[in-house]
Structure 1
């Protein structure tokens, strides 16, 4: 309902398409739609079939309620939208796309309205499921991420009341240069990431990112998306342990997108996550982890080491990356909008 007590109308989706939530039978059509869109828009990364299989198995964000696919009369997927939200989170994240042949006809606006309504409903559902009738319900908020070259997305968000709340830099470091020298303090040990470290590193990540803007704790399912990522490369990932007690002091988790290498023209070792627990900061651990990553990437035949960084990261990460030879090659933005709560 709105502030006057009237029931909010459901967003109208384009009647030229048949709309329903995603199902396992849609994997090929869904992946095909995203690939066709990516071929035109050239994002740095996009979801592929294996990623969508993970999404279909999510328990925290079941696709039956949190996705929508639009099919033309021939059964070809032409548009898609999805939101995700942590049960106790203060925001939902939206994503989606419209087939390039169908863009410019208002479908994107309809999907955006659907995601906003679904976000409002999801906040109300999570509040009801919390069991605490007296708890304050956060105002619904929806977030999107765009790359700087995607002007049509920026225009849609700006025209729909969204504002940029953060900038991120994609940074590359050539691997034809020697990795910097970096040595751990006595008592610390660098090891390769593996299954025995999945849970200790998850806990270390949640601790390390408590003071990072926009970060929320990752539960077992969310962490499963990290360690079971089809592009995950544990052999290129390192963990620093405190020998005295086995505590994970820091970690660097890497991925490699072999398909993107064919499109972009270079092989990239990507640092997906890098973190150091607060009590271990100031001891050069991040520098050791990145230098180790560079050596691992180079030995695996990569051309560049890459990562993304919040331009306002509170730990001074940007300055460290520049010092180690990384340079910014692309920029992305986070867009937020606060929504009216469900009546």
Structure 2
């Protein structure tokens, strides 16, 4: 039994012992994800520092919103978790199954738990009809088959894009009425508000409150020194921003080092002024100065701002694709 609010969800796979993730489980949880990643080779996966952040969530506390399955040998073999903003019309699901325990029905049992817990969260939040969204990489065909069998449909595609940092890099600056400055903690709240404004017209985006924004700017891989903000000189208004992360382990797992643009946004009233191009060019120079091999980012294939065309113009090329799957839960 997994406690969750006023009711309980069960995982229908009795061969594993199930419980919500606790502080003492973080190490076993991280080892499970790492074992799975070693076989499935995802572009990104959660490591212990990210899991420690998850344990601190107030909106999505691990009690009731996570589940870990342990084998008879005491080793963690599967997990699932959901996140949901109280006012949102969707929840997000995450999870994995140890390769040694795949093809036994564990994945189906986890999906059923995710759906049951999602329905409960919508009842607790007095929200609209429940909907669950799960992302996966196109290379993981076994996951796609599982989602399709359980009634999920692809609702969006995303492209991972790379730009080599060898050779000449674009020289793009901002107009005189703007100033490009390094990201710092004093700008965090202003950038959060600018992000919420810039992403109002982006598919699937939801406003970032202080907790969810804190997970971004305090991410263990966050690199403010590789990030930048464009300010309007006359008012000090944040016109655009580029927030970067760097994963030192990616050079080992992927064979190259990369600076990753986690968030790039320009407020509507400042679009068409070359700000995004200037931020990307600045990011490339910062990444190259750090000795990194590649600048990378992800983009919604149907982004309404024309971001895909901009990235191609700046020399980025698609290298991988991921999918968003949705299921209405009634």
TM-score by length of 1: 0.93
SS at match of 1:258: coil
Structure 2 match to 1:41: 40
Structure 2 match to 1:52: 51
Is 1:91 paired with 2:90?
yes
Residue 11 of structure 2 contacts residue 18 of structure 2 at CA under 8 Å; is this kept in 1? no
CA RMSD of aligned residues (A): 1.2
Instruction: Measure the CA separation in 1 of the matches of 2:15 and 2:203.
Output: 40
Deviation at 1:11, TM superposition (A): 5.2
Residue 82 of structure 1 contacts residue 115 of structure 1 at CA under 8 Å; is this kept in 2? yes
TM-score by length of 2: 0.97
Q: Which of 236, 241, 252 is residue 262 of structure 1 equivalent to? A: 252
Q: How does 1:303-314 map to 2 (within 5 A)?
A: 303-314=293-304
Where structure 1 has 5 or more consecutive residues not aligned to the other structure, the ranges are 1-7, 128-136
Structure 2 match to 1:181: 171
Aligned length: 324
Q: How does 1:109-120 map to 2 (within 5 A)?
A: 109-120=108-119
Instruction: Measure the CA separation in 1 of the matches of 2:71 and 2:170.
Output: 54
SS at match of 1:19: strand
Instruction: Measure the CA separation in 1 of the matches of 2:41 and 2:15.
Output: 27
Instruction: Measure the CA separation in 2 of the matches of 1:30 and 1:263.
Output: 19
Instruction: Measure the CA separation in 2 of the matches of 1:261 and 1:86.
Output: 34
Residue 11 of structure 1 contacts residue 113 of structure 1 at CA under 8 Å; is this kept in 2? no
Q: Which of 186, 204, 227 is residue 196 of structure 1 equivalent to? A: 186
Is 1:161 paired with 2:151?
yes
Instruction: Measure the CA separation in 2 of the matches of 1:41 and 1:261.
Output: 17
Residue 269 of structure 1 contacts residue 305 of structure 1 at CA under 8 Å; is this kept in 2? yes
Deviation at 1:179, TM superposition (A): 1.8
Is 1:75 paired with 2:74?
yes
* Stretches of 4+ aligned residues off by more than 4 angstroms: 8-12
Residue 241 of structure 1 contacts residue 249 of structure 1 at CA under 8 Å; is this kept in 2? yes
Where structure 2 has 5 or more consecutive residues not aligned to the other structure, the ranges are 1-6
SS at match of 2:125: helix
